[in-house]
Structure 1
Amino acid sequence: MLEPVLAEAGGWLAQDLARLERALVAGVHSLITVPLRARGVTLGVVSFYRSEQPAPFEDDGLSLAQELVGRATICIDNARRYTREHDTALALQRSLLPRGRPDQSAVEVAYRYPSAQAGVGGD
């Protein structure tokens, strides 16, 4: 969403006049808002405000913002997926550990599980 002149933004005027007034008092005069969407899920919203530059945002600024947010979304989604897969792998590794030593009278048994230090190994 591109709002080149924030003071004339109909959505802000209708929904949150107090926030609009605070933004205008702070010197904000132009706004670009782009959703963070990955795999059909909205992760958040990124807003770009312009206050010091006298020129309002234009369509090329919107294109740049969309490209930047698109790349950031890919990085965030990859981090989320890596974390989920990493947690799944750790849960699997833990589930494969022996629960305890069986009682043996003929053999003395010991074991140890060195946990992975750099994300690999441990077996």
Structure 2
Amino acid sequence: MMKVLCKYNDPDNVPPSVPNSFNFGLELEKEYLVMGIVLAKKQLWYLVDEKSRPSFFPYQLFEVTDASISTRWHFKLYSEDDGIFPFDKEAMWGYYELCFNENHNEQIVDREPGALELYFKRKTEIENNLV
């Protein structure tokens, strides 16, 4: 299970390479389970949740503490013609629906109940080594 430790959150104390520097609402020195990774505009973003709110965060905020990934993770390469949210997405790694349900990413960001329920179901499966 890929895990990361939050090292930065304060907009005045983040690496200069972090896009959109603002308070990300993460807890410093807290370890997070990575549920997915997106490559967009040549930038990696980790899908983690804080206070039951999953979001994508720039990788520079974290230190990898466990680099292993689930054997059930999938990979999806996107093209500009896909028209899938976010429109600048180049590649995705993560649980099946994250990679192959074209609306799931947007639904997570929009906090739609069904998408959140599925996200936390997959998270529980990964935490319990059921996948």
TM-score, normalized by length of structure 1? 0.26
Bigger relative CO (Cα 8 Å, ≥ 6 apart): 2
Which of the two has higher C-alpha Rg?
Answer: 1
More strand by share: 2
More helix by share: 1
TM-score, normalized by length of structure 2? 0.25
